[in-house]
């Protein structure tokens, strides 16, 4: 049930891009180097990931000197589910319960397949969290925890 490194790094990068944007309302621009340094990610690998995210319409970029990446929409409007699906594919643990990429799983009777019923619950539980958590929810929670711990 693991998420891939691509997924993990992509989510981290998006959160990093959302974080300063919380204070200043303007979209925050960051460079690959900056993010890779801060999150300890191979810059070349991160590059691929950000590009994928850009092609999916979640990021915009500015080329040339002083360029970088920034969120395509406000942090409130981007959910973890959107990011995850771009990088790691469907959320469902088994294809026959996927909303986005349904495929039959080969059980004798899908309607009454017990595994399918249980895994459907799991899918819904995961999707509920990922699709209802925006980047701004994440950064808010982060800073709440920081305050509670008296850090920074």
Partner DNA sequence: TTGAAAGTATACTAGTACTATGGACTTTAT
Partner DNA sequence: ATAAAGTCCATAGTACTAGTATACTTTCAA
Site string for DNA, 48-77 (x = CB under 7 A): x-xx--xx-----xxxxxxxxx--------
Q: Could you identify the residue written with the tokens 């998420």? A: 3
Burial of 11 (0-12, 13-18, 19+ CB in 10 A): buried
State in Å, rounded, how far the first CA of the chain is from the last one: 34
Interaction between residue 104 and a copy of itself (CB under 8 A): no
Q: Which stretch binds DNA (CB under 7 A): 15-23, 37-45, 130-138, 142-150?
A: 37-45
60 phi/psi in degrees, rounded to 5 = -120, 165
Q: Are 87 and 53 a contacting pair, CB within 8 Å?
A: yes
Binding test (CB under 8 A) with a copy of itself, winner from 30, 93, 100, 103: 93
Say how far apart CA 50 and CA 72 lie, in whole Å. Answer: 12
Binding test (CB under 8 A) with a copy of itself, winner from 6, 34, 105, 131: 105
Residue 40 or 149 with smaller CB distance to DNA: 40
Longest dimension (CA), the chain: 59
CB of 34 to a copy of itself, least distance (A): 13
Interaction between residue 117 and a copy of itself (CB under 8 A): yes
Interaction between residue 24 and a copy of itself (CB under 8 A): no
């Amino acid at each position: 049930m693991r998420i891939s490194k691509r997924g993990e790094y992509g989510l981290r990068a998006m959160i990093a891009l959302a974080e300063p944007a919380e204070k200043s309302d303007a979209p925050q621009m960051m460079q690959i180097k900056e993010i890779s340094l801060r999150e300890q990610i191979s810059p070349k690998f991160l590059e691929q990931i950000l590009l994928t995210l850009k092609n999916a319409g979640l990021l915009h970029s500015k080329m040339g000197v002083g360029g970088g990446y920034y969120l395509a929409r406000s942090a409130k409007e981007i959910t973890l589910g959107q990011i995850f699906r771009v990088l790691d594919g469907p959320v469902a643990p088994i294809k026959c319960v996927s909303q986005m990429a349904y495929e039959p799983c080969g059980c004798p009777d899908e309607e009454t397949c017990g595994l399918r019923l249980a895994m459907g619950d799991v899918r819904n539980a995961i999707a509920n969290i990922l699709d209802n958590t925006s980047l701004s929810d994440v950064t808010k929670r982060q800073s709440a925890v920081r305050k509670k711990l008296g850090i920074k």
